[in-house]
Every structure is written in structure tokens, then in C-alpha cells.
A and B are shown apart, each in its own frame.
Chain A
Amino acid sequence: MFDITPQLFALQLMTGIALGAVYALLAIGLSLIFGMLTVVNFAHGAFFMVGAFLGIYSIALTGSFWFSLLLVPLATGAIGLVCERFLVRPLYGRGLDYPLLLTFGLSYVMIDVMRFTFGIEGLPTSTPPDLRGAVFLGFGYFPLYRLFLIAATAVIVLGLWLFIEKTRYGLIIRAGSRDPEIVKVLGIDIARVWWLVFGIGTAIAGLSGLLAAPTRAVNPEMGIPILAESFVVTVVGGMGSLPGAVVAGLLVGVVFSMTSLLAPEYAELSIFVLMAVVLLIRPQGFFGKAGLMS
């Protein structure tokens, strides 16, 4: 405990923010889908995992990490679009539990499809050549890739914010999440909007998988704990809230990271305890609306 220098502390904080960036992206995707469709995507961790696998495959195929950054979300988004259209949409009239249950079954299938395609061992990962090395941050050397992760997330979040707040389509999304009836009355095909939002959500999940791949082991089971962790982030931030997803994502990442440093035995536990505390004092999350689901 006494050999923890301020420099080490600061570096660990940065690591936490990098981890938090991935969590924030995951939570944004989940919240988008929940906010619009009132569906909890239990396959979200699986899409994250598929993104990681497709990312490695795409990098191997095209030789370019940057190109894969474009390709992978398009791919996982497309898979999401197909799934929504044929698997989730038939269930909308039936009650909120059914799409949830379906995505749970879907996650099982996705895991075994990846096992079948890429083997049960997983794939080796490496940092893209352009982003190797470390940067001196005043208090120590920090991996360039993780810095890139933070920056990339910031760009994506900004882009999403601009899309939702400033574009016409974003307006439709915002209106639809508040009152699908109004959107229908305005002559907009709400089913189409939901379809596209689901695709955007799964695209972001896949992208976060690609971005996270160089920092962790890539195997078909990697999405399983990720699902639970992204639920923690959404409970803390507030379901359906995008600012909540970002703030809570960063908070959870930092809590995990700092606990890993100060009390490593309790690292995984710490974020769930955080969630339990939030549930006690503010069940709707920091940015959530009371009474929505609590």
C-alpha cells in the first residue's frame, strides 16, 4: 500500500479511463436500443465479442486497422439489422420480456457460431503497428493505444451527440423514444426507425469490441462477463440515458482500475457493489428518470 506513488496512481487512473471508454461505448449502444425499443439486448456482449473477432479477421485480411474500424461496425450493424427484422420485430406486440428472451437465445447461437468459425481457443491479438509504443504523460509512460482508445471514444460520442441533437434523423430518434405515437402520426415509419437504431446499437457494440481487442484476450466467451458489466454501467448511469452511459462508463472503469491497484482481490466485486449502492439510494441511476422502470 505504501509503495503506491502518485505517478502510479495517475497512470492507473488513466488506465481506468481507457477501460471506462469501452464501457461507455457498450452502455451507449445498450441505452440507445433500450431507449428507443424498450428492449434490453441480452446479446450485446455477444456483438462485442463478434466485433473483436471480425476485427482481427478484417485486419488480417485487409492489413489495415483503420479500414477495419469502418468495416467492423458496418458488419455487426448489418447482423443486428437482420436479427431485428426477423427475430425481434415479430415479438413487439407480445410483451416486453420476449425480445429480451430472444436476444438471450441469440447470444448462445452467436457464441457457438464464433467457436465454429474461429475455433474454441480464440485468436491472438496485437496492437496495430501505427499505435504501438508509449507516450510520456508527465507522470509516466502510458500506452499509446489506450490513449487512442480514449480519443476514439470521445470522437464517437461527439459524433453520436451531433447526430442525435443536430440532425433531422436524430430528432426523429429523440421524438420516437419519447412518444412513438407522435412519430407515427407524423407519417414516419416507426418500425424503420427502431430497425435502424438496433443496427446502430449493435454497430457500436461491435466497434467497441474491435477497439478493446488489443487490450484483452479474444475468445468466444469474452462477451459473457462483458454483458454483466455493461448492465452495471447502465444501472449506475440510468437506462436510456446517453450522458449517463458516458459518465457511468468512465466511473465504472476508474473504480475497477483503482480497486485493482489498491485492493486487487475485490476488483470485479467493486463495480457490482457500486451498482448495489446506487440501487439503494437512487434506483433509477444518476441520470435516469424516476418511475420509468423503478
Chain B
Amino acid sequence: MKNSIISLLLLARRHRVATVLLFLLVFPFLMPYDALSVNILIFGLYAVGFNLLFGYTGMLSFGHAAFLGVGGYLAGIAVVHGGWPWWAAIVTGVAASCLAGVVIGYLAIRTRGIYFSMVTLALAQIMYYVFYKAEDWTGGENGLRGVRVESIKLPGLSIDFINPLNKYYVILVFVALALWFVSRILNSPFGAVIEAIRENEKRAAACGYDVARAKLLVFVLSAGICGLAGALRALHLSIVPIDSLHYLQSGQAVMMCLLGGMGTFFGPFVGAAVFMYLEDVVTNLTRYWMGAVGMVFMVFVLFFPKGIWGTLVHQMERWLRRQGDRA
């Protein structure tokens, strides 16, 4: 019995993308209502993108809302002002957030450590004010409205995009692609480079790696994934709220990642699920959601820095190692 559990765990670890996707396939049936599942899926993707930078490379950015927001706004603008089809909107959103990643990344990477956190927050606020002011394009304070995609038209097939469950599975396709891509990156030689940078930047440079360039690349990749989440969110909500760009939205990515488990593959989804589910429950009980989540976050920072999934994985790895030593 124990041996089959061990084999199962090892199999799951080796095929992490498949394991996560299997879970995500059945996830809507575990949640009270489908719209919540869609939100968790989208914000899980947002957290995955952020985790690539924070959990795996060790760079704490407080400006990732810029990419969620730019992805959302540019996708929305493509639909509302350009009349473009849904897939072109998504591509536009991702491309725009990658570009924003290059610009913000280039400036921010001139700084390191906690200084970097400050700088990313401030640079992302530029995006907030720019999009706030550009009312004709973005709707200003009220957000960009009318991002209506009523059906996903594929050759020979038309999917009703109003039904939340349909939305979930369409979005899941993109999430699956993104997860596959992230997994490849982490397993690749470049993944080894960013690991090394996280562990010891100076050492990585002494080995001959151009740390600034590697950081910029992973920054842009991270921005692109968050941009994808933003674009999908725009299509899901049919509006892009101005708060998508505010640094509190960046803080949300940080919180979800830490809660779930940074530097783990599945942690960001766990974090997003816990965060959104909690928000749903708590806001029905009290108006002081911000205070509640702040307290929960502080508890995790102090006592459970590995996060829910991270702690579980850590314990599982230890158990597996002991079994391995015994065998």
C-alpha cells in the first residue's frame, strides 16, 4: 500500500503539468459556483506568472499589476475600439504586457533586493496614472466597459462564452499552455540559471552568467504570463476595472503566492483558491476583509512562510527521502 502511494507521488511529481491539469479539470465541481472557479483559474495564472519571478528567481516585484492591467486593457481595447476577434485580443494583451515588461524591467533591474520591490511598485503606478488619464481609450475611472465576447468562434464550432462553465474550460486551455510553458522553462538550462541567481547572484555572475540579462528575460516572461491572465480576465468580466493596475492588485499576487507556496509549481493555484474562497466567505460576514486578509497574511509571513502547499510539499519531500533512505 505504502509503495503504491510512493509510486503515485513520484509519478505526480514527474508529470506535474498533467497532475495539475487533471485537478483543474474537476475543480469547478468542488467549488460552490462556477464564476468563482473562473476567477480562481485566472488569478491562479496571475500568481503562476508572478511566482516565476518571485518564487523561482527570488525577485520580489510589487508592480505586477501593471502586467495584469496592461494585458487586460489592451485586450479590451482590441475588442472595444478595434472590433478584433477574441484570439487577436489575447495576443495583443500578451504582446503589450511583454513590452511593458521590457520597459519596466529594464529600469527596475538596475536596482536589487528590497530596493527593487520599491521601484517596481512606483513604476507600475505610472501605468495606473497613464491608463487613468487616457479616458478616451480606457474609460478612466470607470474602467473599460463593453468587452463583450459572447461566443468563441472556432472553425466548425461555436462555444457560448456567457456560460461560466464554458468560460472555465476555454480559459483552462490557455492556462494549460501557460503551465506547460512554465514547466519547460523551469526544467530547462535557463531554469537552472534563474535558480542559481535566486540562490546566490554573485556566484552566478562569477560562473559567467550575465545576471542582468537573465533577470530581464525572466521578468518579461513573467509579465507575459500575467498579461495573459489579464487578457482572459477582460474577456471574462467584460470590463477592465482601473484597479487592475493599482499596486494593491500587485500586493494580491504577492499574498496569493506566499499563502500558497512560492517556488512550488502548484502553490500559486492553492494560494489563489484559498484567497478568493476566503474573500467570498469573509465579505459575506464582515466589511473588514482588508484587515482580515492582512492579519492572515502576517500570520503566514511569521509562522508559515512556505505557504500551505509549500509546507505540504516540504513535508512530503522529507517523508519521501526517509522512505528512500530506508529502502
Contacts and interface: CB of A to CB of B under 8 A. Distances in A.
A239 B294 contact: no
Interface stretch (A6-14, A68-76, A148-156, A228-236): A228-236
B190 interface: no
Interface in A89-133: 90-91, 94, 96-98, 100-102, 104-109, 111-113, 115-116, 120
A100 B60 CA distance: 10
B118 A105 contact: no
A104 B60 CA distance: 13
Nearest to A38: B114
B185 interface: no
A88 B292 CA distance: 19
Contacts of B294: 105-109, 111-112
A116 B112 contact: no
Interface residues of B, number: 41
Nearest to A112: B291
Interface stretch (A56-64, A191-199, A202-210, A275-283): A275-283
Contacts of B130: 269
B220 interface: no
A96 B201 CA distance: 15
Task: Tell me the dominant secondary structure on chain A's binding face.
Answer: helix
Contacts of A228: 121-122, 125, 247
B248 interface: yes
B298 A109 contact: yes
A293 B115 contact: yes
A106 B299 CA distance: 10
B29 to A, nearest CB: 33
A272 interface: yes
B301 A102 contact: yes
Contacts of A275: 119, 122-123
B146 to A, nearest CB: 25
Given A94-B305, A100-B60, A224-B248, A231 B111 contact: no
Contacts, number: 127
Interface in A254-269: 265-266, 268-269
Given A91-B302, A108-B291, A294 B122 contact: no
B126 A269 contact: yes
A115 B133 CA distance: 29
A78 to B, nearest CB: 19
A273 interface: yes
Interface in A175-226: 224
A241 B26 CA distance: 54
Task: Tell me the dominant secondary structure on chain B's binding face.
Answer: helix
Given A269-B130, A279-B107, A96 B113 contact: yes
Interface in B211-253: 247-248, 251
B326 interface: no
Nearest to B302: A90
B290 A108 contact: yes
Contacts of B302: 87, 90-91, 102
B205 interface: no
A105 B107 contact: no
A101 B118 CA distance: 12
A26 to B, nearest CB: 13
A242 interface: no
B151 interface: no
B107 A276 contact: yes
Given A293-B114, A294-B115, 17 more contacts: A39-B114, A87-B298, A98-B301, A100-B60, A101-B60, A105-B301, A109-B298, A111-B294, A112-B289, A112-B292, A120-B287, A228-B121, A269-B126, A269-B133, A275-B119, A293-B111, A293-B115
17 contacts: A40-B115, A40-B117, A97-B60, A101-B60, A102-B301, A106-B294, A108-B294, A108-B297, A109-B294, A115-B287, A120-B287, A231-B118, A239-B115, A272-B122, A279-B111, A283-B111, A294-B115
